[in-house]
């Protein structure tokens, strides 16, 4: 449970940070519903990595579940909050940007976890 809570809170932090960057770049104003939606979206994206705990699923399937769930959450919340117009070009652009941001964050976590695993294996070999 502690791992899920930590991951969910990390998702909220990352999502909030990205939203602050977008606010600064595009000079947008947000209201209370937007803030709650960003927190909810971050929590969902932070919770979805629970799928990586299932050893019987191959990594590409885990990534598809994580990315797919995140995309669904983004488009539901962006539709509710009118963040992205429901037209092909803006939707494709938003999906592209979202996917790129997602993959960058995912690779950062992958590299971090690989480095941690390497350190743990080195300590175990030295014992």
pLDDT for 1 beyond 80: no
Segment 52-95, tens digit of pLDDT: 999 999 999 999 999 999 999 998 998 899 988 889 999 999 99
Mean pLDDT over the full length of the chain: 91
- Residue 65: predicted pLDDT: 95
Phi, psi of 83, deg, nearest 5: -75, -35
Our CA dihedral for 9, 12, 14, 19, rounded to 10 degrees, sits at -170
Q: Which residues of 32-63 are buried (b: 16+ CB within 10 A; e: fewer)?
A: eebeebbbebbbbbbbbbeebeeeeeeeeebb
- Residue 26: predicted pLDDT: 84
* pTM score of the predicted model: 0.80
Domain ranges of the chain: 2-126
- Residue 28: predicted pLDDT: 83
CB 42 within 8 A of CB 16: yes
Segment 22-53, tens digit of pLDDT: 889 988 888 999 999 999 999 999 999 999 99
Percent of the chain whose predicted confidence (pLDDT) is above 90: 65
Instruction: State how far the Cα of 111 lies from the Cα of 87, in Å rounded to an integer.
Output: 36
DSSP state of 28: -
- Residue 5: predicted pLDDT: 92
CA angle, 17 then 14 then 76, to 5°: 95
Instruction: State how far the Cα of 37 lies from the Cα of 12, in Å rounded to an integer.
Output: 10
């Amino acid at each position: 449970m502690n791992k899920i809570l930590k991951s969910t809170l990390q998702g909220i932090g990352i999502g909030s940070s990205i939203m602050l960057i977008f606010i600064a770049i595009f000079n947008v104003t947000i209201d209370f519903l937007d803030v709650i939606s960003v927190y909810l979206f971050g929590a969902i994206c932070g919770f979805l990595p629970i799928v990586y705990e299932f050893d019987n699923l191959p990594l590409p399937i885990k990534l598809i579940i994580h990315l797919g769930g995140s995309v669904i959450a983004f488009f539901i919340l962006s539709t509710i909050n009118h963040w992205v117009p429901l037209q092909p070009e803006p939707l494709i652009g938003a999906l592209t940007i979202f996917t790129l941001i997602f993959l960058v964050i995912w690779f950062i976590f992958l590299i971090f976890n690989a480095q941690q695993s390497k350190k743990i294996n080195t300590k175990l070999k030295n014992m």
